Chains A and B, each alone.
Chain A
Amino acid sequence: MSDLGCIIGGVESINPFWLASAPPSDKKYNVERAFQAGWGGAVWKTLGVDPPVVNVTSRYGVHRTHDRRIIGINNIELISDRPLDINLREIEEMRREWPDRVIIGSIMAPIDEEAWKSLAIKVANSGVQGIELNLGCPHGMCERGMGSAVGQAPALVEQTTRWVREVVDIPVFTKLTPNVTDIIIPAAAAKAGGAHAVSLINTVNSVIGVDLNNMTPTPTVDGRGTHGGYCGEAVKPIALHMTAEIARQPETQGLEISAIGGITTWRDAAEFIALGAGAVQVCTAAMLYGFRIVEDMNEGLAAFMRDKGYRSIADFKGKATAQTVDWNELNINHDLKARIDDEACIECGRCFIACEDTAHQAIRIDAKNDGGRKFTVVDDECVGCNLCMHVCPVKDCITMEAVDTDRPYLTWPEHPKNPLRKVAE
């Protein structure tokens, strides 16, 4: 039997699925429903220094695919707008009533040692198993010098992490913003400040859309709009990349990662874990589908682990890290050609036009005796880019076949055409 239990930043959890600090973890009522549904933990919606913030109405915008599915949400909601003592009392109750679940207290304060430290102490005293520092919120709070304004200044990332480490004896998670050029720099700063783990990504700064009738960005608040934080399935690739980098770069190697960013299914979670995350946090999927979405996250991940023979999360954590390399380490001699299965082909022509218009003119159309069209890959022109395979609407109709080139593994630094190539000495 596979065990979904895991330890992240020193915090034990019955499964790797926590609610991220966000609207779904705003209060006891919601978190209780989440725990009933099977979530392993919740990072409480970020607590600030009283008086609480005031939110605007009209808070979310969405990014839809053409079939109207939502692939991303953008929000302009701020941190918890409820008084600190009410939040802390609810956390205490929840810790008492749900002893096997994790509650992490997310906090945010102005850049002031005393403010961070006293807030951290109050929250730690409520019984949370860890503290998460919100250094990522890219809207509203950053204009007040908090959130991503801190996350974008490595020295402040290190400083706030250290302040909190100094006053609490529970694990500290530093939550990072993706709105930086190189995630390694703030991640290394968090490590230097003593973070037990980093949580990432926070939302991506974005304008989700424009109302073309009123010429206002959305979501619109009384005729005006602002940039907000983008999350959901669409940001997953950004988060995967940042997770992979932190896991593999020497400056941050070994730093534990609580991964966040578009996780909607068990498979998404497994991918983050494979790239080095110890556990994951979820928000958008719950907002779109409700807390029961966790049921299949748990069941699906367990089934995957059983199928692959992994007995624990730790068994496959970081299994894909070694294979994640710089471009310069890829084998230039590797050769693929597209193969089109005539039997499966429905003759839509999508592969042809994609290749013809935007790639390498490597697909030929011939008339078939039955009046249909036969699509054939011209091997001499095919560069193995995968585009045809991706646009094909039929699963496994176009596959990429490795060509045996008999040539050795050759990287760009060693390539004869590289003017700066390293010649073996």
Chain B
Amino acid sequence: MKHFKITTESSRLSARDIAENFDDLHPSLDGAKAITEAARCLYCYDAPCMNACPTHIDIPKFIHQIRSGNLDGSAHTILSENIMGGACARACPTEILCEEVCVVHHTEGASVKIGELQRHAVDHLMDEGGAHPFMRGPLSGCTLAVIGAGPAGLSFAHRAAMLGHDVVLFEAKPKAGGLNEYGLAGYKMANDFAQTEVEFLLAIGGVRIEHGKVLGDNLSLDDLRTAYDAVFIGAGLTAARGLGVDGEHFAGVGDALEFIENVRRTEDKSSIPVGDDVVVIGGGNTAIDAAVQAKCLGARNVTLVYRRGPDAMTATQWERDLATANGVIIRYWAAPKAFSGGANVERAAFAAMRIDNGKLTPSGDSFELPADMVLKAIGQTLDSAIFGNLKLEGGKIDVNEQYQTSLPGVFAGGDCIKSGEDLTVQAVEDGKQAAIEADNMLREKLKGAAE
């Protein structure tokens, strides 16, 4: 467990301390350690880890390839199922995916470090900087439009390009990568990895990105449907939820994702303003990323407040441990009631909560925390207004098993669809599968036209 430099009673962080805090969270495995770790893998048949991975990477095979010294082959095995295997190796909550079901846990008490091994193989291939490992198939003459250059859109674009189609990605922000670029803690994507990966992925060719294109502003779904052979929506969830409590308007009360984005965009981390008493509201990995980064920036007190108990928290145990090991206090069973202050927020009031007849209800007790910075990490929602007459389900885009939306020729995947799981690795899988489905559809169409 990494221990960051944190502010203590007697000292505050220097600019150098802060910069070091944003170095790589996990040191990369060196060659000898990787081989020793790889040797722990049992090479299971129809392996549980492989089935637990949303992208179904052949994990026993890639680990065997590390062991045999075929590192490029290992990376190829990973990337052929998950082109963002590098980001996933860094950001995946492996403790609830592949590593949770690794059977070596039963024989040795600890799972094979699949994520670290994956990173070892993929980093090796990317660091070599050779030719892109995948070839494009025969060109189809089709051009596909993608809304959003996040993990889902990039994965879709790469697979579609591989299958012979040209792709134009439309992205609102100045950089591609989506949450990998803007929504994860800096130490998880150190050394500008998100951009390195985007460049790597685009090297397949046939993919162009247009930045500053915002759906509902200078981009319309109808126009894209007319101009392109197919459209993929990987727009994510862009509307911030509100708490709906008094004082949310105070300066210092903000959205955790915006805070994280600001941290990621700022070169000199020591210039980022951070409070002395930071309160983070929420129970997911974004809440943890915000809280721990606040500590990394030098916040004196950081309290994460979650309205339910530990069992309901979606942040993984590993993430929680990282937070508590670095001085973040986690308080369960408390919901924000109001914020108060002067020019800036000064206090946050909470109602203690409990489960009553299966329902989350205030217990009657309340408390206040000093707060000069409040970060809301209570999830994002779909900005439904921009999708026109696209059918939604439960506030998200409705797709069938082929990732097709209610509009012909329009596919969707990632966080914006109803099965969206809030995981990079799921978004990559959605994009990959949607590209395969779009390809099937286009080939049927081309065949029909030819007959």
The smallest beta-carbon distance between A197 and chain B, in angstroms, is 41
Residues of A337-364 at the interface with B, using a CB-CB cut-off of 8 Å, are 346-350, 352-353
**CB of A308 within 8 Å of the partner chain:** no
Across the interface, do A346 and B67 meet the contact criterion of CB distance under 8 Å?
no
Across the interface, do A394 and B107 meet the contact criterion of CB distance under 8 Å?
yes
> Which of A65, A68, A347 has most B Cβ within 10 Å?
A347
> Which of A68, A346, A394 has most B Cβ within 10 Å?
A346
**CB of A237 within 8 Å of the partner chain:** no
Across the interface, do A347 and B48 meet the contact criterion of CB distance under 8 Å?
yes
Can you list, as one digit per residue, whether each of A376-403 has a CB less than 8 Å from chain B (1) or not (0)?
0000000000000000011000000000
From A65, A350, A393, give the contact of B45 (CB < 8 A): A350
Across the interface, do B103 and A348 meet the contact criterion of CB distance under 8 Å?
yes
From A66, A350, A394, give the contact of B44 (CB < 8 A): A350
Can you list, as one digit per residue, whether each of A186-199 has a CB less than 8 Å from chain B (1) or not (0)?
00000000000000
**CB of A67 within 8 Å of the partner chain:** yes
List, in ascending order, chain A residues with CB within 8 A of B48's CB.
347
List, in ascending order, chain B residues with CB within 8 A of A66's CB.
35, 38-39, 67-68
List, in ascending order, chain B residues with CB within 8 A of A65's CB.
39
**CB of B407 within 8 Å of the partner chain:** no
**A66-B39, A68-B36, A348-B44 known; A393-B67 Cβ under 8 A:** no
List, in ascending order, chain A residues with CB within 8 A of B106's CB.
346, 394
Bound CA span A68–B40, Å: 12
**CB of B386 within 8 Å of the partner chain:** no
Across the interface, do B47 and A393 meet the contact criterion of CB distance under 8 Å?
no
**CB of B43 within 8 Å of the partner chain:** yes
From A67, A68, A347, A352, give the contact of B103 (CB < 8 A): A347
**CB of B46 within 8 Å of the partner chain:** yes
List, in ascending order, chain A residues with CB within 8 A of B32's CB.
68
Bound CA span A347–B49, Å: 12
List, in ascending order, chain B residues with CB within 8 A of A348's CB.
42, 44-45, 47, 103
Bound CA span A122–B294, Å: 83
Residues of A62-81 at the interface with B, using a CB-CB cut-off of 8 Å, are 65-68
Select from chain B the residue with minimum beta-carbon distance to A67.
B39
List, in ascending order, chain A residues with CB within 8 A of B47's CB.
348-349
Can you list, as one digit per residue, whether each of B62-77 has a CB less than 8 Å from chain A (1) or not (0)?
0000011000000000
Bound CA span A352–B36, Å: 26
Across the interface, do A346 and B36 meet the contact criterion of CB distance under 8 Å?
no
Across the interface, do B45 and A349 meet the contact criterion of CB distance under 8 Å?
yes
> Which of B39, B43, B45 has most A Cβ within 10 Å?
B45
Residues of B90-117 at the interface with A, using a CB-CB cut-off of 8 Å, are 103, 106-107
**A66-B67, A393-B107, A394-B107 known; A349-B39 Cβ under 8 A:** no
List, in ascending order, chain A residues with CB within 8 A of B35's CB.
66-68
Across the interface, do B107 and A346 meet the contact criterion of CB distance under 8 Å?
yes
Select from chain A the residue with minimum beta-carbon distance to B105.
A346
List, in ascending order, chain A residues with CB within 8 A of B45's CB.
348-350, 352-353
Residues of A within 8 A of B (CB-CB), count = 14
From B40, B42, B67, B68, give the contact of A350 (CB < 8 A): B42
List, in ascending order, chain B residues with CB within 8 A of A394's CB.
106-107
The smallest beta-carbon distance between B88 and chain A, in angstroms, is 23
Bound CA span A347–B46, Å: 10
> Which of A66, A348, A352, A373 has most B Cβ within 10 Å?
A348
List, in ascending order, chain B residues with CB within 8 A of A347's CB.
44, 48, 103
List, in ascending order, chain A residues with CB within 8 A of B38's CB.
66
Can you list, as one digit per residue, whether each of B26-43 has a CB less than 8 Å from chain A (1) or not (0)?
000000100110111011
List, in ascending order, chain B residues with CB within 8 A of A349's CB.
44-47
Bound CA span A347–B67, Å: 22
From A67, A350, A353, A373, give the contact of B36 (CB < 8 A): A67
Across the interface, do A346 and B39 meet the contact criterion of CB distance under 8 Å?
no
List, in ascending order, chain B residues with CB within 8 A of A68's CB.
32, 35-36, 39
The smallest beta-carbon distance between A179 and chain B, in angstroms, is 31
Select from chain B the residue with minimum beta-carbon distance to A344.
B106
Bound CA span A131–B380, Å: 86
The smallest beta-carbon distance between B203 and chain A, in angstroms, is 28
List, in ascending order, chain B residues with CB within 8 A of A352's CB.
45
Bound CA span A360–B103, Å: 25
Bound CA span A349–B40, Å: 16
From A67, A350, A373, give the contact of B43 (CB < 8 A): A350
Bound CA span A298–B46, Å: 45
Select from chain A the residue with minimum beta-carbon distance to B43.
A350
Select from chain A the residue with minimum beta-carbon distance to B37.
A67
Bound CA span A68–B34, Å: 12
Bound CA span A353–B45, Å: 6
Bound CA span A373–B51, Å: 13
Select from chain B the residue with minimum beta-carbon distance to A347.
B103
Select from chain B the residue with minimum beta-carbon distance to A353.
B45
Residues of A115-171 at the interface with B, using a CB-CB cut-off of 8 Å, are none
Bound CA span A373–B103, Å: 12
Bound CA span A66–B42, Å: 12
Bound CA span A347–B43, Å: 12
Select from chain B the residue with minimum beta-carbon distance to A373.
B46
Can you list, as one digit per residue, whether each of B266-285 has a CB less than 8 Å from chain A (1) or not (0)?
00000000000000000000
Bound CA span A67–B106, Å: 19
The smallest beta-carbon distance between A62 and chain B, in angstroms, is 15
Bound CA span A65–B36, Å: 11
List, in ascending order, chain B residues with CB within 8 A of A350's CB.
42-45
List, in ascending order, chain A residues with CB within 8 A of B68's CB.
66
Bound CA span A346–B47, Å: 11
From B36, B39, B42, B46, give the contact of A393 (CB < 8 A): B42
Bound CA span A68–B69, Å: 12
The smallest beta-carbon distance between B47 and chain A, in angstroms, is 7
List, in ascending order, chain B residues with CB within 8 A of A373's CB.
46
Bound CA span A348–B59, Å: 13
Bound CA span A373–B48, Å: 10
The smallest beta-carbon distance between A70 and chain B, in angstroms, is 14
Bound CA span A68–B68, Å: 11
The smallest beta-carbon distance between B27 and chain A, in angstroms, is 21
Select from chain B the residue with minimum beta-carbon distance to A354.
B45
For this complex, 11 residue pairs linking A to B, each with C-beta atoms less than 8 Å apart, are A66-B35, A66-B68, A68-B32, A68-B39, A346-B106, A348-B44, A348-B45, A348-B103, A352-B45, A353-B45, A393-B107
Given contacts A65-B39, A66-B68, 20 further A-B contacts (CB under 8 A): A66-B35, A66-B38, A66-B39, A67-B35, A67-B36, A67-B39, A68-B32, A68-B35, A346-B103, A347-B44, A347-B103, A349-B45, A349-B46, A349-B47, A350-B42, A350-B44, A352-B45, A353-B45, A393-B107, A394-B106
State the 8 A-B residue pairs at the shortest beta-carbon distance, nearest first.
A349-B45, A67-B39, A353-B45, A346-B103, A346-B106, A348-B44, A348-B103, A348-B42
